[in-house]
Amino acid sequence: MRKNFIRLILSGVVVSLGLSPLLSVQAQQQVANAQVAAMVEALRQAAPQTGSQNDGLYSQWQVKPETLKGWARTCLKKEITPTQFENSPETARQVVSCIARRELNQQLRARNNNETAAVTDVACWWMTGQYTGCNSGFTATYVQKVAKFYQQERAKTTTNQTTR
């Protein structure tokens, strides 16, 4: 009887220890989802408005067709046309979210989880294809706008979580 009791206790400890990393990963995933959503929205809000219907950029995120081609293959496992991307806000958001997640995760790792630095690196990359070099001019202004919008979105998420 005592052996069974000890086995039961040990089994409970093993199961608890086995689940704790899973719970931690799940909590991190929720944070990552909020970060990705904030990044996607910040990129949308900061997208340059050219004032021209036929500016060669597509969707609310102002994506170039040649960029879209690779992103769609990566995220959707198929190619889509710029028109399909433009005409489907759901598809556009799905692709942008996929790429934003990839880049934000990469930069969070590279920046030792410094969220502000990671966001500015991703914003610079989004505009130029490089993670650095957006310290002046138009690109600096753009990166600052993305960072500001990102912080606003993260604040909304935090407020919503605390009011639940």
Query: Which residues are registered as beta bridge partners of 63?
Result: 58
The SS3 assignment for 26 reads helix
List per-residue pLDDT tens for the chain, 164 residues long.
555 544 544 444 444 444 444 444 443 444 489 999 999 999 999 998 887 777 888 999 999 999 999 999 999 999 999 999 999 999 999 999 999 999 999 999 999 999 999 999 999 999 999 999 999 999 999 999 999 999 999 998 766 655 55
pTM: 0.77
Element spanning 125, H or E: helix 115-128
For tokens 């989880």, the residue is: 113
What is the pLDDT, as a whole number, of residue 138? 95
What is the pLDDT, as a whole number, of residue 32? 82
Element spanning 126, H or E: helix 115-128
Among residues 56, 61, 50, the alpha carbon closest in space to that of 92 is found at 61
What is the pLDDT, as a whole number, of residue 162? 57
Classify the C-alpha dihedral 38-40-34-24 as positive or negative: negative
User: Distances from the Cα of 127 to the Cαs of 64, 84, 93, 133, in angstroms?
Assistant: 11, 22, 17, 11
